[in-house]
């Protein structure tokens, strides 16, 4: 990464889109996802908790984190580890109390850190009072708060679901309720019945829950599975796709129950509610979408009136070091989202960690540095997942009997579940890595914690952790990185990804070698429309570049042992990497849906044939 101080004023480099009207805090923010069960245990039960998070705020501040997003900590039967909520206005006792939460908010504020809650609007727990009422009788006033239907005529329950829709977590999305003789719909586990968003009372009730947290002082929400809010009102069968999923179900096109236009009305009203609060509260969406065009709709396009930050998974889940694809996708996020702010995501609690998805097994540390450079030096808001900054590895269970995530039990061995990316945070080399003093922890620590942990990397200035910290610091302090523009350079180079962040005082040039070979690149200020002037290296993973003072003959060391390939376990990605950005969507690729995304194969639409699942 080199910095250029111009001797004359920089040439004008057009900004591709109109920029956003203001410069809110979240545009340049570093947002850090905490999976609360796994971050820090404070009471010795082997499960992380709120006071544990509070005790680690010094670390988060040291790293440069601006906001934490905490995965759900509401009361929950924990079937889906908190994503099955039974009370939206309280804290699960295993994580603490509302007082603990208020204390966290206050302490976080002192550390300059905002707190974002995870909000699950699509479904509740089947133990939520709303569902207990709804399922109690067909004429209960809350019956219509969920999606209840008769079975399909011609067969008998429980073998005649209303249609062929399958759950994200395997098998029919309809659960038969013998007490009232009808089926209810669940996009996820049967213990997570979908709310009926066509009933305005549902929206009112959910918005009240959201106000409860905004009133308490949370700075924003991460909205779980929002493209699943609405379903086809006629419940028409989904079109079949070839092959089967990890659970053995025939694959299908989810467009009958994912990403319906009706979702957007709710997003606009939620945005108005959010904007009625002071402090630039932010809405982040879990939006696994097939194309940049669909993603733009979740911002409200040029109206900018829906989510400020729907997640863009099209960059972070390319899953191979393909320069052309990265360049194209980053550019799409610059030119095709109506000037909205991109949010690239590489890691979260639902997917194998990027360390494993991109690593070649030998140079993972260098590759992780490359990914961090993309995350922190493009224009994207940066989202990271706990442990990413030290290169925590995915550690899936070895035996079915050890699996905690129910999809891993159901899908074993093809789908081992998400435990592997949820192992406890590695703080130091002591027992349980400083995560907990319990005799056993809810998931075992990854095997490498004695060498790979926060403390060890804090003490090593050359560590990945320090690389993250320096990039974060640069992002906060360098005006070029806070600017509005990014220009791709050397755009036909299939080996090295380069871009410029132009600035008034100086500009920043980023060059990343994606290959197994040493690459030498040169830039010509006139031809490449770069500002002329002094050049100096400000951050590099190759010491030979530390004193580089010219844009000609920059030699970048290799990052890989061999040509990159997608790592075995993760090649089941939902889209063809070769898809051109102009290709229409969602067909012919099946819509990637949350959570199982890396486990789905690229799939083409089959001849339409009705298929009923049982």
Residues identified as active-site: 224, 286
Distance in angstroms (rounded) separating the CA atoms of residues 260 and 232: 8
Based on the shown chain and the rule CB under 5 A, indicate whether residue 49 belongs to the binding site for Ca ion.
no
What does 397 bind: ligand GLC, Ca ion, none (CB cut-off 5 to 8 Å by kind)?
Answer: none
Q: Is 419 in the site for ligand GLC (CB under 6 A)?
A: no
Please state the closest distance from residue 301 (CB atom) to Ca ion, in A. Answer: 23
Nearer to ligand GLC, 115 or 120 (CB): 120
480 contacts: CB under 8 Å, gap ≥ 6: 3, 501, 502, 503, 505, 506, 507, 508
Q: Does 203 bind Ca ion (CB under 5 A)?
A: no
- Smallest gap from Cβ 61 to ligand GLC, in A, equals 26
- In the structure encoding, which two tokens stand for residue 345, read together? 């995501």
Of 317-356, which residues contact ligand GLC (CB under 6 A)?
Answer: 349-350
Q: Could you tell which of Ca ion, ligand GLC, none binds residue 194, using a CB distance below 5 to 8 A set by kind?
A: Ca ion
SS3 of 251, please?
strand
- Taking the CA atoms of residue 581, residue 582, residue 587 and residue 588 in that order, the dihedral angle to the nearest 10 degrees is -70
- 388 scored as a contact of Ca ion (CB under 5 A): no
Q: Is 188 in the site for ligand GLC (CB under 6 A)?
A: yes
> Which alpha helices (H) appear in 423-551, and where do they start and end?
454-458, 464-477, 479-482
Q: Kindly state the smallest distance separating residue 144's Cβ from Ca ion, in Å.
A: 14
79 or 260: whose CB is closer to ligand GLC?
79
Q: Which does 228 bind (CB under 5 to 8 A by kind): ligand GLC, Ca ion, none?
A: Ca ion
Q: What tokens appear for 27 in the block? A: 């545009």
Which one, of 566, 575, 556, 456, lies nearest residue 515 by Cα?
Answer: 556
Q: In the bound complex, what is the minimum distance in angstroms from residue 85's beta carbon to ligand GLC?
A: 9
CB 111 within 8 A of CB 60: yes
Q: Rounded to an integer, what distance in angstroms lies between the CA atom of residue 607 and that of residue 614?
A: 21
Q: How many residues bind ligand GLC (CB under 6 A)?
A: 11
- Own/partner pairs, 261-267, CB within 8 angstroms, 24+ separation: 262/197, 262/198, 262/229, 262/230, 263/226, 263/227, 263/229, 263/230, 264/297, 264/298, 264/300, 264/306, 266/121, 266/197, 266/203, 266/229, 267/226, 267/298, 267/300, 267/306, 267/307
Q: How many CA atoms lie within 13 A of 118 on its CB side?
A: 25
Tell me the backbone φ, ψ of residue 396, rounded to 5 degrees.
-70, 155
Return the one option of Ca ion, ligand GLC, none that residue 382 interacts with (CB less than 5 to 8 A, by type): none
For residue 122, the minimal CB distance to ligand GLC (Å) is 7
Residue 224 vs 389, nearer CB to ligand GLC: 224
Site mask, Ca ion, residues 109-128, x = CB under 5 A? -------------x------
Q: Distance of alpha carbon 3 from its chain centroid, rounded?
A: 31
Q: Does 228 bind Ca ion (CB under 5 A)?
A: yes
Burial code of 245-272, b = ≥16 C-beta within 10 A, e = fewer?
bbbebbbbbbbbbbbbeebbebbeebbe
Residue of closest CB approach to Ca ion: 194
- Bridge-partner residues for 3, per DSSP? 508, 536
- Residue nearer to ligand GLC on the CB measure, 33 or 334: 33
x/- contact string, 112-131, with ligand GLC (CB under 6 A)?
--------x-----------
194 sits near Ca ion (criterion: CB under 5 A): yes
125's contact among Ca ion, ligand GLC, none, with CB below 5 to 8 A by partner kind, is none
* 3-class secondary structure, 357: helix
Shortest reach from residue 247's CB to Ca ion, in Å: 20
Stretch touching Ca ion by CB under 5 A, among 45-53, 192-200, 403-411, 490-498: 192-200
CA angle 595, 346, 474 (to 5 degrees): 155
Nearest to 328 by CA among 294, 359, 291, 381: 291
74 touches ligand GLC (CB under 6 A): no
Q: Which is closer to ligand GLC, CB of 349 or CB of 600?
A: 349
Determine which helix (DSSP H) or strand (DSSP E) holds 332, and give its type and residue range: helix 323-335
The answer to whether residue 80 forms part of the interface with ligand GLC (CB under 6 A) is yes
**Binding positions for ligand GLC, 83-102, rule CB under 6 A:** 83
Q: Which of 64, 310, 592, 594 binds ligand GLC (CB under 6 A)?
A: 594
List residues binding Ca ion (CB under 5 A). 122, 194, 228
List residues binding ligand GLC (CB under 6 A). 80, 83, 120, 188, 224-225, 286, 349-350, 594-595
């Amino acid at each position: 990464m080199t910095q250029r101080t111009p001797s004359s004023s920089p040439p004008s480099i057009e900004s591709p889109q109109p920029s956003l009207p203001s410069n809110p805090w979240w545009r340049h923010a570093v947002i850090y996802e905490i999976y609360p069960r796994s971050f820090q245990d404070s009471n010795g039960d082997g499960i992380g908790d709120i006071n544990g998070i509070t005790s680690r705020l010094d670390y988060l501040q040291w790293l440069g984190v601006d906001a934490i997003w905490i995965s759900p900590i509401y009361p929950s039967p924990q079937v889906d580890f908190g994503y099955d909520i039974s009370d939206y206005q309280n804290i699960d006792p295993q994580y603490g109390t509302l007082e603990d939460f208020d204390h966290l908010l206050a302490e976080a504020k002192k550390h300059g850190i905002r707190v974002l809650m995870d909000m699950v609007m699509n479904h509740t727990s089947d133990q939520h009072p709303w569902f207990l009422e709804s399922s109690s009788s067909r004429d209960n006033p809350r019956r219509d708060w969920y999606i209840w239907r008769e079975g399909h005529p011609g067969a008998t329950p429980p073998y005649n679901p209303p249609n062929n829709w399958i759950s994200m977590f395997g098998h029919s999305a309809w659960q038969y309720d013998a007490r009232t003789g009808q089926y209810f719909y669940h996009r996820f586990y049967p213990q997570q019945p979908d709310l009926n968003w066509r009933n305005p009372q549902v929206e009112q009730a959910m918005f009240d829950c959201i106000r409860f947290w905004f009133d308490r002082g949370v700075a924003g929400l991460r909205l779980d599975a929002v493209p699943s809010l609405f379903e086809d009102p006629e419940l028409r069968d989904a079109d079949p796709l070839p092959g089967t999923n990890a659970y053995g179900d025939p694959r299908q096109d989810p467009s009958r129950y994912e990403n319906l236009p009706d979702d957007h009305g709710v997003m606009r009203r939620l945005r108005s509610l959010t904007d009625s609060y002071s402090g630039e509260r932010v809405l982040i969406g879990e939006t696994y979408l097939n194309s940049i065009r669909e993603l733009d709709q979740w911002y409200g396009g040029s109206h900018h009136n829906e989510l400020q930050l729907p997640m863009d998974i099209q960059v972070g889940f390319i899953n191979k070091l393909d320069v052309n694809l990265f360049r194209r996708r980053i550019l799409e996020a610059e030119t095709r989202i109506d000037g909205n702010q991109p949010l690239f995501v590489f890691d979260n609690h639902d997917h194998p960690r990027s360390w494993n998805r991109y690593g070649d097994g030998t140079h993972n540390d260098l590759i992780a540095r490359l990914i961090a450079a993309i995350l922190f030096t493009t224009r994207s808001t940066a989202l990271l997942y706990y442990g990413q900054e030290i290169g925590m590895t995915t550690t899936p269970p070895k035996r079915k009997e050890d699996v905690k995530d129910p999809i891993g039990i159901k899908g074993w061995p093809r789908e081992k579940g998400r435990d592997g990316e949820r192992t406890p945070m590695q703080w130091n080399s002591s027992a349980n890595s400083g995560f907990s003093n319990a005799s056993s922890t809810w998931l075992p620590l990854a095997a490498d914690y004695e060498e790979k942990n926060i403390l060890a990397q804090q003490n090593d200035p050359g560590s990945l952790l320090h690389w993250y910290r320096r990039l974060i610091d640069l992002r906060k302090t360098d005006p070029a990185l806070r600017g509005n523009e990014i220009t791709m350079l050397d755009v036909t180079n299939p080996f090295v990804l380069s871009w410029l962040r132009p600035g008034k005082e100086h500009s920043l040039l980023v060059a990343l070698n994606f290959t197994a070979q040493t690459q030498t690149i040169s830039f010509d200020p006139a031809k490449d429309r770069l500002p002329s002037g002094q050049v100096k290296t400000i951050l590099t993973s190759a010491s030979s570049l530390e004193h580089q003072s010219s844009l000609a003959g920059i030699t970048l060391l290799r990052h890989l042992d061999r040509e990159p390939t997608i790592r075995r376990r993760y090649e089941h990605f939902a889209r063809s990497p070769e898809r051109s950005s102009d290709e229409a969507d969602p067909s012919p690729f099946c819509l990637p849906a949350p959570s199982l995304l890396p486990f789905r194969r690229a799939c083409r639409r089959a001849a339409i044939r009705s298929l009923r699942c049982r």
